[in-house]
Amino acid sequence: MKVLVCIKQVVDAHDTVSLDEAAGRLTFAPKSVFRMNRADEHALEEALLLKERLGEDVEIHAVTVGPPRAASVVRRALEMGATGCVHVTVGDDGQPDPSTTARALAACVSRGGFDLVLAGVMAEDDMAGVTGQLVGAYLGWPCATSVVAIETLSPGGKVRVTSEIEHGYRALREIALPAVLTIQTGINQPRYPRLSDVLRARTMSPETIPLDELVPHQRIGNAPKVAKPASSRQGIVLKGTSLEKARALVDILREKALIP
């Protein structure tokens, strides 16, 4: 069975991102650190757990679509134990929209003969939460989102998955492979790389494919303009030292009869 895990590189701390208001785009500070999107890390871990359960004939590959710096997340996937990885390259700091990304990922799936695609439920930066479903839709495969448990019914044939709905409801579905699953955070605890895998990863290099080669006829949409949200701030801002703020807050709590 071949499993493809879709991972994205995101900026670690959102307060290192600033807005160029004139250009309507975001810029990263020199100190910005980039890492694997958390939900994707859970997706990769889930794939590695599948391999542990089902045995050595499961191959786990990781793929990312992103700028040159995104190479570090597929390398990280190798260190965590992926068999191989692909970096679909785009220029500079660019990140294509979810539809283009999904078309590139679907093309990778077709090239590689995969049976199962795992992706994180949502990226922390653009918060689209839709790339996995689009990969499924482009491939014509069933897709289950927000998965919090995977049970293998027959290797390469069928999986039983639990999806998280709102307010504590969960859906239990049997999904015939090939299929796409989007993985919710908290499904597992992602591992730290073992030294042996780190050393193995050093001897490997990701396969790189330019985005234009995978998606030759990209539809050019209107680039979104980024802005600050319309401020709805109406609260009282406490001023002073830490102690002064604590005292002011105690007074407010008293006034509101929230403490005796």
Partner 1 sequence: MDMRVYIVGETLGGRLTEETMDLASFVHSAYGRMPDACFLPSCKGDDAAHELAGLTGSTVHLLRSGDDLCPPGRALAEKIAAIIGEGRPSAVFLAQRFFGLELAPMIALLLDAEILTGVVAASGWRFTRQVYGGRFVEHTQPARDRVVCTVFTSPRRHVALEHPSRGRVLVHEAPPADDRARLVGILEPAVSTSPLPEAEVIVSAGRGLGGKENLHLVEELASLFPRSAVGASRGACDLGWLDYSRQIGTTGMSVSPRLYIACGISGAVQHTAGIRGAQTVIAVNIDDQAPIFNVAHIHVVEDLKTFLPALIDEMRKAMAGRNLG
Within 208-237, the residues that bind partner 1 by CB under 8 A are 219-222, 224-229, 231-237
Binding-site member from 69, 194, 202, 254 for partner 1 (CB under 8 A): 254
What is the closest distance, in whole angstroms, from the C-beta atom of residue 167 to partner 1 in the complex?
Answer: 6
Contact flag: residue 156 with partner 1 (CB under 8 A)? no
CB of 199 to partner 1, least distance (A): 29
> Can the peptide bond before residue 96 be classed as cis, meaning omega within 30 degrees of 0?
no
Q: Is 199 in the site for partner 1 (CB under 8 A)?
A: no
**Selected binder of partner 1 within 56, 192, 203, 259 (CB under 8 A):** 259
- Residue owning tokens 């879709």: 6
Residue of 22, 166, 195, 217 that binds partner 1 (CB under 8 A): 166
49 binds partner 1 (CB under 8 A): no
Closest of 184, 225, 164 to residue 37, by C-alpha: 184
Q: CA-to-CA distance for 225 and 25, rounded, in angstroms?
A: 6
90/213 Cα distance (integer angstroms): 11
Element containing residue 167 per DSSP (H, E): none
Name the pairing type of β-strands 17-20 and 143-154.
Answer: unpaired
Binding to partner 1, residues 8-37 (CB under 8 A):
14-15, 17, 19, 24, 26
Distance CA 8, CA 102 (A): 12
Taking the least distance from each CB to partner 1, the nearer of 100 and 209 is 100
Q: Does 154 bind partner 1 (CB under 8 A)?
A: no
Q: Count the residues of the shown chain that bind partner 1, applying the rule CB under 8 A.
A: 80
Supply the minimum distance, in Å, between the C-beta of residue 223 and partner 1: 8
Q: Does 53 bind partner 1 (CB under 8 A)?
A: no
Q: What 8-state DSSP symbol labels residue 173? A: E
What is the nearest approach in angstroms of partner 1 to the Cβ of residue 232?
Answer: 5
Query: What stretch of H or E contains 242?
Result: helix 242-255
Query: Of 199 and 253, which CB lies nearer to partner 1 in the complex structure?
Result: 253
- What residue ranges in 21-58 does DSSP mark as E strands? 25-28, 34-36
Q: Is 92 near partner 1 (CB under 8 A)? A: no
In whole angstroms, the minimum distance from the beta carbon of 126 to partner 1 comes to 5
Choices 71-79, 104-112, 177-185, 197-205; region in contact with partner 1 by CB under 8 A = 177-185
Q: Are 112 and 63 in contact (CB under 8 A)?
A: no
Residues numbered 103-132 forming contacts with partner 1, rule: CB under 8 A: 124-130
3-state class (DSSP) for residue 159: strand
CA separation for the pair 6, 187 (Å, rounded): 16
